[in-house]
Amino acid sequence: MAADSPPDFRLRLRRDSNAVIAWFRDMWTRRWFRWLGYVALAGVLFLALVWVLFARNLPSVDQLRDYEPPLPTMVRDAEGKPVHSYARERRVQLEYSEYPQLLVRAYLAAEDRTFFSHGGIDYPGIVSAIITNLSSSGRPIGASTITQQVAKNLLLTGEVSYRRKIREAILAMRIEDALTKEQILELYLNEIPLGRRSFGVQAASRAYFDKDVDQLQLHEMAFLAILPKAPETYGRARNADKAIARRNFVLDEMYRNDWITAAQRDAAKAMPLGLTDSGNRAIAQVGGYYMEEVRRQLIAEFGETADKGPHSVYAGGLWVRTAYDGKMQAAAANSLRRGLLRYDAGKGWSGPIATIEADDQWASRLASSFIGIDYDGWRIAAVISKSAGAAQIGFADGTTGTLPAGAATLGYRKTGGSAFSAMRPGDLIAVKATGGGSYALKNIPEVSGGFMAESPHSGRIYAMQGGFDVRLSPFNRATQAERQPGSTIKPFVYATALDNGMTPATLIVDGPFCVYQGARFGNKCFRNFGGAGGSGEHTMRWGLEQSRNLMTVKTASQIGMEPIVETIQTMGIGKHEPYLSTALGAGSTTVEKITNAFAMLANHGRELKPRVIDYAQDRRGKVIFPANWRACEGCNKKDWDGRPMPRFAKSGKQLMDPMTAYQVVHMLEGVVQRGTAVRLRDLGVPLFGKTGTTTGPNDVWFVGGTPDVVAGVYIGYDQPRNMGGYAQGGSLAAPIFKQFFDESLADSQPIPFTAPKGVRMVRIDRQSGRRVYGSWPGTDPKASIIWEAFKPESEPRRTIREEEIKPIKTQRRQAAPTQKGKAGRTDSDFLDDRGGII
């Protein structure tokens, strides 16, 4: 039997294998089994086909775990208040816990009641949608869950097709496996498009109600929940009835799910929609040249759009802290505009701002031009049509008005006729309402200019105005316009002289001065402003206070132009050629550069780098600009730890001898007290400054300020041309600074300029420069005895000679006769008659 076992065993194994095959053969002869096999095979093929057509190349849901939506850049002012944003879409990202639960339930009632119980797909809803689509030839409808909407919005396109719906469903199931329900809801509430260029519920809450989500009432929550279906329909005032009906449906659904009581539902239904038209008032959107300069610098640093990097201006979600001071900016804009209008008054209408086609699309053409104005109620209008007595005008919002001929009587400076007769349909003009639908013509000054205010302690730019309005001309004349600085360059000429052995009391001859320029050009003779000749020997201080050209070029000739242009370059004004005319402002610079140079004088010659941006943070709060930024350790402690207050060390290189810088500032105080900027003296605070008027005159300047704020301003045509013989820095530019001071700094505590260590204050006679004993300076700015600043060992020596001890009395000069052929005497004649002292 043992010998027979192996054959029996082999036969049994063969019999079992054949039995399986035989069983299948036997079952295959049965019809129901064959049909079952065909169905299984079809299922496998179907799944393979689905994978090939729909699931293959689907985006990975893993990217949703670290998803960072494109967010706008928010700008804060010097006090940390949000004042502007750079955005093409409204977006605000919140965490799930920051959304009120009642608001979340409103969205669940409107969009996906069974969200927390399904696995990403609503199968009963899909069946209902299929039946509806098969019986209708219109746009296919879906039964998208919130998870499917997240898949569509973040991972797929908005294509309307069954293919997209299938891909959406596959992704929804994968998302449910990868994320929690709360994470999915957070993505949904932050990204769903809700109209008015808003993405996400917080952005929509601001756009429609000007509230944050934690301030919303129940009826407002229900309204926001209806927007995903049709934001452009429900979000418009003309469709209020449809919106209310849909909102009330959501309230009913919330009640049906026991999320609100009947009383809450009924009270919410009784409320109107309450939509706002103003958008988000939480951010002032101050705009203007200042914020355009911030934007320009951010784009240069981080790029404009997401493809330029993770910190781009329009997608990176930056938080930017600036030095922007709203009060100073308003004063800067207002004072510069008023100055431009004062100069331009009486010169007539300068012509249309731009032109468009005056067809039936004029409103959209005007809106798309992005031309606007923000001044004293002025508006930009398009001339639609014109008759003999009036013109019909229209605005970007589609409204219209009337411009009577009698309200446009300004002379047209190009032809001499009236402005009304020169107007043509399609012209864009500035107007102001006069009542009853009528408007009066206003003129945008043809002349322009720039203004900037800066801290002399840190270089932070408080205010910047680069023209009349940035929407009329984006060219920033404060930072981009290269202009001749005129006499505002003279303080740096004299600073170089002070570093080369001269003092504020050094006597310089105010007399004829000529330079031989070779056989081709011959002699070049310099003269004072207005063509006036010399007035004798005077101190350096007097020459700077009265801005005497002859004294400046004589000083420059004596010390050489090479060290002067080196000083000008070191102070960041510009790289100028070593010609004597450079000492009178023949080079070029910008308002930003010359203002910063004056600020460095007030900062005792220490380097300052002008800046509008203090620092920039990424969306998580990390400071990413400037690269060397460091937090102040211990500055924000809640309680005092008994240690000294943290103090910042002085930064920046020492670009000029601090004593030299103070000597120049001290002399520039005299410019305000009795010199070319004397009209600022009645402000009654310590001020220093310098006026400037270029050849032509083409530009007029004033640069100066207090120990805490330094400002610079110029006025001139964009294409330089003569402004008229009466145009001077003291009469046109200085009043702009005065108005700026009155509107923004008048309430500040007066602070005197401080002298650096080593400066010696000595009593001298202001006219002769000699040291004085036995007498003291008075309060009269025209007093003969003053305090003068000297470096050690440079002050006038003691003497026993009586004529050098007593102040010299200046003999009264007789009035110079008026030259024939001239309508009146010049300022220079007036100065000469009185020994140059005013």
- At 630, list the tokens: 């460091």
The H or E element that residue 394 is part of is strand 390-394
b/e sequence 814-824, b meaning 16+ C-beta within 10 Å: eeeeeeeeeee
b/e sequence 437-460, b meaning 16+ C-beta within 10 Å: ebbbbbbbbbbbbbbbbbbbbbbb
Indicate the DSSP class of residue 346: T
End-to-end CA distance of the chain: give it in Å, rounded. Answer: 145
Q: How many CB atoms lie within 10 A of CB 677?
A: 28
- At 174, list the tokens: 């994968």
d(CA 668, CA 491): 8
β-bridge partners, 716: 448, 699
- Strand 90-91 relative to strand 198-199: parallel, antiparallel, unpaired? parallel
The H or E element that residue 744 is part of is helix 734-744
| Greatest Cα pair distance in the chain | 159
| DSSP string of 591-606, one letter each residue | HHHHHHHHHHHHTTTB
Whether 111 sits among the annotated catalytic residues: the reply is: yes
Output the CA–CA distances (angstroms, integers) from residue 292 to 331, 335, 342, 744, in the order listed: 18, 20, 26, 22
d(CA 393, CA 381): 6
In contact, 254 and 222? CB cutoff 8 Å = yes
Output the CA–CA distances (angstroms, integers) from residue 423 to 351, 395, 404, 428, 736, in the order listed: 8, 16, 12, 9, 32
Rounded (10°) angle between helices 146-155 and 101-111? 90
Place of tokens 């431009």: 340
Judged by DSSP in three states, 761 sits in: strand
In contact, 564 and 583? CB cutoff 8 Å = yes
Q: Which amino acid appears at position 194 of this protein?
A: L
Q: What is the dihedral of CA 559, 532, 509, 787, to 10 degrees?
A: -90
Active-site residue (options: 198, 205, 335, 487): 487
Place of tokens 């009469």: 731
In contact, 543 and 522? CB cutoff 8 Å = no
d(CA 214, CA 782): 65
- Strand 785-790 relative to strand 760-765: parallel, antiparallel, unpaired? antiparallel
Burial of 312 (C-beta count, 10 Å sphere; 0-12/13-18/19+) = buried
Whether 592 sits among the annotated catalytic residues: the reply is: no
- At 700, list the tokens: 């007029």
Judged by DSSP in three states, 729 sits in: helix
b/e sequence 140-167, b meaning 16+ C-beta within 10 Å: eebbbbbbbbbbbbbbbeeeeeeebbeb
Place of tokens 């504020």: 504
Place of tokens 């700015």: 781
d(CA 215, CA 261): 20
> Could you tell me which residues come within 8 angstroms of residue 608 by beta carbon, excluding any fewer than 6 positions away?
454, 456, 458, 459, 596, 599, 600, 652
Burial of 30 (C-beta count, 10 Å sphere; 0-12/13-18/19+) = exposed
Output the CA–CA distances (angstroms, integers) from residue 469 to 77, 289, 413, 475, 803, in the order listed: 20, 8, 22, 10, 60
Alpha helices (H) in 227-325, listed in sequence order: 231-234, 240-256, 262-269, 288-302
Active site residues: 111, 487
